[in-house]
Every structure is written in C-alpha cells, then in structure tokens.
Amino acid sequence: MKKVSIGILGYNEEYGIAHLLDSLQLQTLLQQDYALEIIVISNGSQDQMAAMARAKLAEFDQLKNPIKSQVIELPIADKCAAWNHFIHQAADVADYYICLDADVVLVQPTGLEELLQTLITHPECRICGGKVLNKRGEITNHHFIDGKCYAIRGEIARNIYIPNGVIADDVYVAATALTNWYKTTPEVGEAKGYTRLTEKPVVRSGDTPRDRDKSYWIACRKRTIMAEYAQRRLDYCMRSIFGGGDLAKTMVLKLATTHPNWFLAYLHQVSRSDFAPQFNPPHLKPPISIYQVAQFLVYCYCYLLSVLGIRNQEFGHLAWKLKHRYW
C-alpha cells in the first residue's frame, strides 16, 4: 500500500485551517487505497490555529477509513523551517508528499487524487503543482509550481533540505527538482517533464480575512522581491561553488546538520556590498489606466522596502518584516 503524507503549513490561520480541513474531508483521495497521514504545522502562530486544527482533525476519526493525524506547533513563523520539519522529522517515510498552505480551500473533490495520479501516470515527473484560483476565479499559476498546493515524490523530497535564509520555499523546492539540483537549466528539466501542473484547478486562495489586509499584501510583495534576490544567489552557490547535481545535493544535506546557517552567512556577506534586487515593475501599456499607475507606484514602494530589507539583512522569515511586524 502506497504511503501519502499531507502537510499543511500555516501561520495565524485559525480561520483558514477550519475551511481547508472541511474541504479536505470531501476529497476522494481519502477513500482510495492509500496509507494516509495528515500533519498540520502551526509555525509561530499567535492565534488559535493549532486548537482549531485539532478540533477539526478529530472529525476525521468518524470517516470510514480513519486517518493518522497530528498538529505540531513551532516557535518561529518560518515556512521554510516548517517544510523541513514536515519532510525530515514529522512525517513518516512516504511514497508521496502533498503540501498545502493553510489558507486555501480545495475546490473539487478529486483535486488531490488528480495530483497523485499525475505523478503515477508520468514516472518522469518529480513534482506536480495544483492550479490555484484567486477570489475572482482566475488561475494564477499557468506556468509555475505554487507553494499553496503541490505533490512531490518521496525520494525527491527527502533529498531536498531548504537552507536557512531561503525566503520562497516553493521556488527552491521546484527549482531544485526541475534543474536536478542545479545541474541543468530549467528548460532542460521542463523538456524532460520533471514538473507538471494539473489540468483543473485544485485550490482557491484569497478568501481569508488577512488576505484583505493591504499591509499584508505589501509585505507579500516585499517578500517576493527579496526572494528573487536570495534565489539568484543560491543558484550561484549551488552551481558555481557546489558544482550542481549529486555533489550539490550531498553538500546541502550535510551542511544542514553541520552548518545549518551556511547560506544565511553567505547572504549576510554579499548583501554588505550588493543590496539591490532586480527592478521588475509591471509594464505600463497604453492606454494607461489609474489602476496601472497605482500598481506601478505600489511596486516601487515595495521595491524600496526590499532594498531596505536586504540592507538590514532581513532574510528567511525576516523578509516578511513590515513596520516592525512579522506576518
């Protein structure tokens, strides 16, 4: 019997986790012939997310096929650390891992089953992303793996460890699988079919009260710009210093136990002389609307926040810092 471990990661998602677990109960995957476990990780939460998760998971005991589950509380709001904890410590050794953000809702009962079937049907595929809908019903990820929902093969996930200082967990995991631990280019990985997306949307996001907070949106944009900066430097380390491929994979896994802050130390060193991320504002195409101008100005503001954040060495979970608050 194949083993599937579902990891749900979130910070202050008391509202979101309740709706996600309600929708999870309706998934056809729960009725299939898999050994399933559900692990909810509340990383640094200050609300009742963990308590709500425990209450909702108790309802799974009433299902025809009871599912092993647990709720883990970590002290720091760091999703990368939560991902590492899920894969390398909390979960059983599984054939497949499914990663979900706690602020999404599954939109169709067959969504998670489609994720796994894609990996089963395409043995060359290492990671399959679920298409994500926004609150307007639009697909937001036509060409990339979104950390809100994806499935990854067990042997691939267990050989990935996210270094401390990385900001975007999903970008690192997907890029590592796609480029064979930075040995090849993304184009080669795509040609070999290492990553895929589901045909239909799997989750919807943007419906929680926090998603309507403008300061949260600004913090997200700042974090995205800084994440691109960190990922480019990580790409250099993996390719030019570690040599890519199996050697890079071995080095990162070894450093995870011997020098866990190696990449953070590298970022601190290079950011002293180079703290300018790439400037990629939205394009202003005529006719230019007030909305486009507003988008451009907001991006410029977030870009300046990112430059300041890099200068202050706010990497890892600190990239979310905004007005002395952590999101």
For the stretch 259-276, pLDDT in tens is 999 999 999 999 888 888
Q: Are residues 218 and 276 located together in one domain of the fold?
A: yes
Statement: residue 6 has pLDDT above 60: yes
- The secondary structure of residue 253, as a DSSP letter, is H
187 to 21, 130, 155: CA distances (angstroms): 36, 20, 22
Residue closest to 148 by CA, chosen among 109, 195, 100, 209: 100
Radius of gyration for the chain, computed over Cα atoms and rounded to the nearest angstrom: 19
Boundary (domain end) residue, out of 157, 176, 210: 210
Give the whole-angstrom CA distance, residue 36 versus residue 324. Answer: 40
Give the whole-angstrom CA distance, residue 193 versus residue 181. Answer: 15
Q: Supply the CATH number for residue 129's domain.
A: 3.90.550.10
Which residues, other chains included, contact 49 with Cβ-Cβ below 8 Å and sequence gap of 6+?
10, 11, 12, 13, 14, 17, 42, 102
pLDDT category at 302 given cuts 50, 70, 90 is: very high
Boundary (domain end) residue, out of 210, 230, 259: 210
Q: Are residues 204 and 219 located together in one domain of the fold?
A: no
The answer to whether 218 and 301 have CB atoms below 8 angstroms apart is yes
Residue 280 belongs to what domain range?
Answer: 213-320
Q: Are residues 122 and 158 located together in one domain of the fold?
A: yes
Boundary (domain end) residue, out of 167, 186, 210: 210
Q: Which tens digit of pLDDT belongs to each residue from 30-61? A: 999 899 999 999 999 999 999 999 999 999 88
pTM for the model stands at 0.94
Q: Are residues 167 and 266 located together in one domain of the fold?
A: no
* Structural domain total, the chain: 2
Q: Are residues 192 and 225 located together in one domain of the fold?
A: no
Q: Is 52 left (phi over 0), alpha (psi -120 to 50) or beta?
A: alpha
What residues are paired with 105 via a beta bridge? 204
Q: Which tens digit of pLDDT belongs to each residue from 146-156? A: 999 999 999 99
